[in-house]
Amino acid sequence: YSMLIGFPKQTTMSKRYFQMCEILTCGRYARGERFAYRSFRNYVEIRRGGRLIYRDNTWYEPELFSMEETGMMEGFTHQANLFVTKPEDGEAFYEEVRKLLEDERKNCQGGITRLTEGDYAVRLFGWRGQVLEELSDKILRLLRKNPV
């Protein structure tokens, strides 16, 4: 795997199995600094054998974009993004993640997407980073049940 995070840092890994999780926040919410930053940019590109399998290009400028609206943070304060390499039993992994999301719907919202090569991307929205971190850990632990 070759992964480009931000610019110009590049990390190359030679593993069959790869997972990534990042949690973004609106700023220092408790201090009333919700989306008070000027901008945030994050670029992630993941390649397998030189072929692009995942790309996320996040660009937030609260002065230009209505961060609270649909398509952005949608009223939430935190966002988690996960990528996992294709598990051996992708359908079982997908269904277990959907069940976890359903069980946690009072604390957060999210979805799972099966990518072209059989890998998965999960996006979560919530009001507390700790809740998203715990749910992300549960999702990533499912890979041990459905190994690559």
Of the chain, the percentage scoring pLDDT greater than 70 comes to 85
Lowest mean pLDDT among 8-12, 40-44, 116-120: 8-12
According to DSSP, the residues that pair with 114 across neighbouring strands are 120
**CB contact at 8 A, 73 and 65:** no
148 vs 137: CA distance, rounded Å: 17
Residue 63 confidence (pLDDT) above 60: yes
- Mind listing the pLDDT tens digit for each residue in 112-143? 999 998 999 999 999 988 999 999 999 988 88
- Which residues does 70 contact at the CB level (< 8 Å), separation at least 6? none
What pLDDT does residue 7 have? Answer: 41
41 vs 112: CA distance, rounded Å: 23
What's the rounded mean pLDDT across residues 58-78? 79
DSSP string, 106-124: TTEEEEEEE-TTS-EEEEE
pLDDT bracket for residue 12 (50, 70, 90): low
- Mind listing the pLDDT tens digit for each residue in 46-62? 888 888 999 988 888 88
The C-alpha R_g of the chain, in whole angstroms, comes to: 16
